[in-house]
């Protein structure tokens, strides 16, 4: 019997790369849909690369033909002149519809913790709308809801460490007592794959084994890096103003108002059972020599890369 195909959006990216590594280790055939086909490919001919052509339903359906399970990691972090949440919702719905029309048996989708509790925030409103779309699609599915992910090539934890290495002061918004439960990206991938092999419609909060207040997280990273910056309370508006001031120099969006609001409202925390084994403190200790040495740019990942067209796709020989 032919080995089933599992498709991953963005297998050359962050969460998608971890999913792909684990699927290939299981001996499964893996296809990726990507709009960055010329990124470095660590998987070589083991990875079938197809275009993620949102504006071409036929191409999108063809890219998913023969796929048993689709893992959707596609999303954007903030609104920008080159991408925005409304477009991301339309694009994701195009992926869902193409998967249904191609006969995909199961969709495993990345949402966000508390997606249905913050419709006043565009990021959460978009994720909430997509959960509703997936439920209405009539395709068996799993919805996995992470809060904060860390690991190879992460942004949040790395850039906190980057700021700690360079600034004599580190500001936490308000009293910093709001909590979060970071999950390693490999544990996130394992959870998604676990749900790929379940029956029916499932969902899970993706919460890691350690819980921190935001201030505790910053203090813990500083201690691991042997740094002693002064950690101070700042009003959220002032913190956002500082982030906006730094952003042009970094050629990035360092932080958004919505991210600050979601963080302070405790939306990155969950009372759900632990689903991962990798502790942030252990991982940061193992990687302290490189953690935060370089700034990780979200815009750099999204805008400084070749765009996809059908001619650039390739399949294994």
For residue 274, the 8-state DSSP code is: P
If asked whether residues 78 and 200 sit together in one domain, one would say yes
Give pLDDT, residue 301.
81
If asked whether residues 50 and 199 sit together in one domain, one would say yes
The answer to the question of residue 317 being in a domain is no
* Tens-digit pLDDT profile for residues 176-193: 999 999 999 999 999 999
If asked whether residues 286 and 306 sit together in one domain, one would say no
| Domains identified in the chain, total number | 2
Give pLDDT, residue 62.
95
The answer to the question of residue 36 being in a domain is yes
Tokens standing for residue 163 = 């700021």
The answer to the question of residue 23 being in a domain is yes
If asked whether residues 241 and 113 sit together in one domain, one would say no
Q: Which residues, in sequence order, are CB contacts of 160 under 8 Å at separation 6+? A: 217, 218, 221, 292
Query: Are the C-beta atoms of residues 316 and 45 closer than 8 Å to each other?
Result: yes
Residue 153 to residues 76, 115, 149, 156, 267, Cα–Cα distance (Å):
16, 24, 10, 10, 23
Distance CA 233, CA 170 (A): 9
If asked whether residues 33 and 95 sit together in one domain, one would say yes
If asked whether residues 16 and 132 sit together in one domain, one would say yes
Tokens standing for residue 52 = 């993620």
Phi-psi region of 174 (alpha: psi -120 to 50; beta: other; left: phi over 0): left
Give pLDDT, residue 267.
98
Distance CA 276, CA 287 (A): 18
Distance CA 231, CA 214 (A): 11
Q: Which has the closest alpha carbon to 126: 90, 156, 153, 97? A: 90
The answer to the question of residue 287 being in a domain is yes
Low-confidence ranges of the chain (pLDDT < 50): 306-317
Distance CA 253, CA 272 (A): 31
If asked whether residues 100 and 229 sit together in one domain, one would say no
Give pLDDT, residue 312.
40
Give pLDDT, residue 313.
43
Task: Write the CATH number for 230.
Answer: 3.40.50.720
The answer to the question of residue 292 being in a domain is yes
If asked whether residues 174 and 235 sit together in one domain, one would say yes
Distance CA 72, CA 107 (A): 7
Buried-state track 166-180, b at ≥16 Cβ within 10 A, e below 16:
eeeebbbbbebebbb
Total residue count of the chain as it appears in this document: 317
Domain span including residue 31: 5-149+183-207+300-312
Q: Which has the closest alpha carbon to 7: 93, 147, 90, 102? A: 102
């Amino acid at each position: 019997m032919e080995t089933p195909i599992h498709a991953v959006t963005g297998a050359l990216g962050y969460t998608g790369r971890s999913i792909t590594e684990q699927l290939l280790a299981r001996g499964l055939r893996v296809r990726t849909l990507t709009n960055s086909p010329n990124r470095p490919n660590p998987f070589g001919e083991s990875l079938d690369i197809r275009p993620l052509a949102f504006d071409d339903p036929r191409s999108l359906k063809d890219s998913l033909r023969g796929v048993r399970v689709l893992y959707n990691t596609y999303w954007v972090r903030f609104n920008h002149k080159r991408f925005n949440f409304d477009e991301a919702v339309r694009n994701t719905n195009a992926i869902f519809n193409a998967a249904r029309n191609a006969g995909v048996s199961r969709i495993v989708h990345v949402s966000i913790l508390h997606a249905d509790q913050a419709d006043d925030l565009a990021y959460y409103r978009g994720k909430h709308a997509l959960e509703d779309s997936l439920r209405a699609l009539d395709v068996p599915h799993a919805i996995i809801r992470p809060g904060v992910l860390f690991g190879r090539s992460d942004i949040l934890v790395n850039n906190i460490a980057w700021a700690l290495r360079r600034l004599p002061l580190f500001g936490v918004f308000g009293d910093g007592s709001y909590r979060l439960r970071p999950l390693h990206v490999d544990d996130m991938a394992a959870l998604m794959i676990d749900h790929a092999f379940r029956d029916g419609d499932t969902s899970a909060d993706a919460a890691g084994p350690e819980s921190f207040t935001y201030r505790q997280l910053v203090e813990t990273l500083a201690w691991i890096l042997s740094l002693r910056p002064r950690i101070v309370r700042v009003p959220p508006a002032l913190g956002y103003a500082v982030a906006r001031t730094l952003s042009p120099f970094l050629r990035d969006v360092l932080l958004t108002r919505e991210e600050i609001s979601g963080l302070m409202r405790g939306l990155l925390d969950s009372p759900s059972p632990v689903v991962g084994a990798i502790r942030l403190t252990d991982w940061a200790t193992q990687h302290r020599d490189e953690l935060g040495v370089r700034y990780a740019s979200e815009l750099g990942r999204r805008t400084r890369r070749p765009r996809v067209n059908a001619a650039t796709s390739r399949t294994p020989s």
